[in-house]
Structure 1
Amino acid sequence: MEKVIKILIVDDEPFNVNLMDKLVRKAIKRSFSIFDFKITKTVSPTEALESIKSSPPHLLITDIMMPEIDGYQLIKEVRKLYNMEELKIIVVTSLEDRDSRIRALLAGANDYTVKPVDAVEFPIRIMNNIKLIENYLLLKDRTLLLENAVKEATKEIREREREIIFRLAEATEYKDAFTGNHIHRVAEYCKLIAEGYGCDKSFIESIYIASPLHDIGKIAIPEKILGKPGKLTQEEFEIMKKHTIYGANLLKGTKIPLLQFAQKVALYHHEKWNGKGYPEGLKEKEIPLEARITAIADVFDALTSVRPYKKAFPFEKAMEIIKEEIGKSFDPELATIFIEEEKEVYKIYKTFSSLKGEVEDATV
Structure 2
Amino acid sequence: MLVHIVDDNNTNLMLFEQIVRRVDNEVSIACYPDPLAALVDCSRQMADLVLVDYMMPGIDGHEYVRRMRAMPGAGDVPIVMITAAADRFVRQTALELGVTDFLTKPVDPSEMRVRVTNLLALRRSHLRLRDRNRWLAEEVRNATQAVLDREEELIVRLAKAAEYRDPETGSHIHRMSHYSRLIARGLGLPDELCDLIFKAAPMHDVGKLGTPDDILLKPGRLTDDEMEVMRRHPVIGHAILSGSSSQLIQLGAEIAITHHEKFDGTGYPYGLAGEKIPITGRIVAVADVFDALTSRRPYKLAWDMERARAYLIENVGHHFAPQSVEVFLSAWDEILEIRQRFADPVEPEQTMG
- Asked whether the equivalents of residues 217 and 266 of structure 1 are also in contact (C-alpha less than 8 Å), the reply is yes
CA distance in 1, matches of 2:185, 2:76: 38
Per the alignment, in what secondary structure is the counterpart of residue 102 of structure 2?
A: strand
1:15 corresponds, among 8, 11, 15, to 11
Out of 275, 294, 307, the position equivalent to 1:304 is 294
| 1:95 pairs with 2:118 | no
Look up the match of 2:28.
38
Provide the C-alpha distance between the structure 2 equivalents of 1:266 and 1:212, rounded to a whole number of angstroms. 9
Q: 2:23–2:117: 8 Å Cα contact kept in structure 1?
A: yes
Matched, 1:277 2:267: yes
Q: CA 1:120 to 1:306, structure 2 compared with 1: closer, same or farther past 3 Å?
A: same
CA separation in 1, counterparts of 2:230 and 2:282?
20
Structure 1 pair 165–134 and aligned structure 2 pair: CA distance change class (3 A):
same
Overall identity of the aligned pairs, in %: 38
Shift in CA distance, 278/358, structure 1 to aligned 2, threshold 3 Å: farther
Answer whether contact 1:270 1:278 (CA < 8 A) is retained.
yes
Q: Alpha-carbon deviation of 1:358?
A: 11
Deviates more, 1:290-299 or 1:195-204: 195-204
1:183 has 2:173 as partner = yes
Q: Is the alpha carbon distance of 1:335 and 1:133 closer, same or farther for their aligned partners in structure 2, counting shifts above 3 Å?
A: farther
Deviation at 1:135, TM superposition (A): 1.1
Cα offsets for 1:323-362 (capped at 9, x unmatched): 443433333333333223333333322222254549978x
1:69 aligns with 2:59: yes
Structure 1 letter corresponding to 2:273: K
Q: The residue matched to 1:181 in structure 2 has which SS?
A: helix
2:128 pairs, out of 133, 138, 145, with 138
Unaligned 5+ segments in structure 1 are 30-35
Deviations 1:81-112 (A, max 9, x none): 35775322111112234443232212210111
Question: Comparing 182-191 with 294-303, which one deviates more in the overlay?
Answer: 182-191
2:20 to 18, 24, 27: 24
Structure-1 residue corresponding to 2:327: 337
Q: Residue 82 of structure 2 aligns to a residue in which SS?
A: strand
Question: Following superposition of structure 1 onto structure 2, how do residues 159-238 of structure 1 map, counting pairs within 5 Å?
Answer: 159-238=149-228
- Is the contact between residue 169 and residue 213 of structure 1 (CA under 8 Å) also seen in structure 2? yes
Which 10-residue stretch deviates more, 295-304 or 178-187? 178-187
Q: Distance in 1 between matches of 2:257 and 2:299?
A: 24
- 8 Å CA contact retained: 2:262, 2:318: yes
Moved over 6 A (4+): 358-361
Alignment TM-score, normalising by the size of structure 1: 0.87
How has the CA–CA distance of structure 1 residues 193 and 360 changed in structure 2, closer, same or farther, with 3 Å as cutoff? farther
- 1:258 maps to 248
Mean CA deviation greater in 248-257 or 304-313: 248-257
Count of aligned residue pairs for this structure pair: 352
Point out where structure 2 has 5 or more consecutive residues left out of the alignment.
none
Report deviation, 1:201: 4.4
**What's the secondary structure of 1:174's corresponding residue?**
helix
> RMSD over aligned Cα, in angstroms?
2.6
- The residue aligned with 1:291 is 281
Matches within 5 A, 1:107-146: 107-146=97-136
- Verify the 8 A CA contact 2:237 2:256 in the aligned structure 1: yes
Question: SS of the residue aligned with 1:101?
Answer: helix
Paired position in structure 2 for 1:155: 145
**Distance between the aligned counterparts of 2:94 and 2:278, measured in 1?**
57
Structure 1 pair 336–37 and aligned structure 2 pair: CA distance change class (3 A): farther
Q: Find the aligned partners of 1:358 and 1:18 in 2 and give their Cα distance.
A: 92
Mapped to 2, the partners of 1:128 and 1:308 lie a distance apart of 80
Question: Aligned pair 1:353/2:349, yes or no?
Answer: no
Paired residues of 2:68 and 2:74 also in contact (CA < 8 A): no
Q: Partners in 2 of 1:336 and 1:358 — Cα distance?
A: 33
What residue identity is the alignment partner of 1:7?
V
Corresponding residue number in structure 2 for 1:33: none
State the AA in 1 paired with 2:206.
Answer: I
Matched residue, 1:49: 39
Aligned partners of 2:175, 2:27: CA distance in 1, in Å? 57
In the other structure, the counterpart of 1:32 is: none
Structure 2 contact 167–297 (Cα < 8 Å) conserved: no
Distance 1:327 1:10, change over 3 A: farther
8 Å Cα contact 2:180/2:197 also seen in 1: yes
Distance 2:304 2:27 in 1: 70
Would you say the 8 A contact 1:304–1:360 is kept in 2? Answer: no
Structure-2-length-normalised TM-score? 0.89
How far the C-alpha of 1:46 sits from its partner, in A, is: 2.8
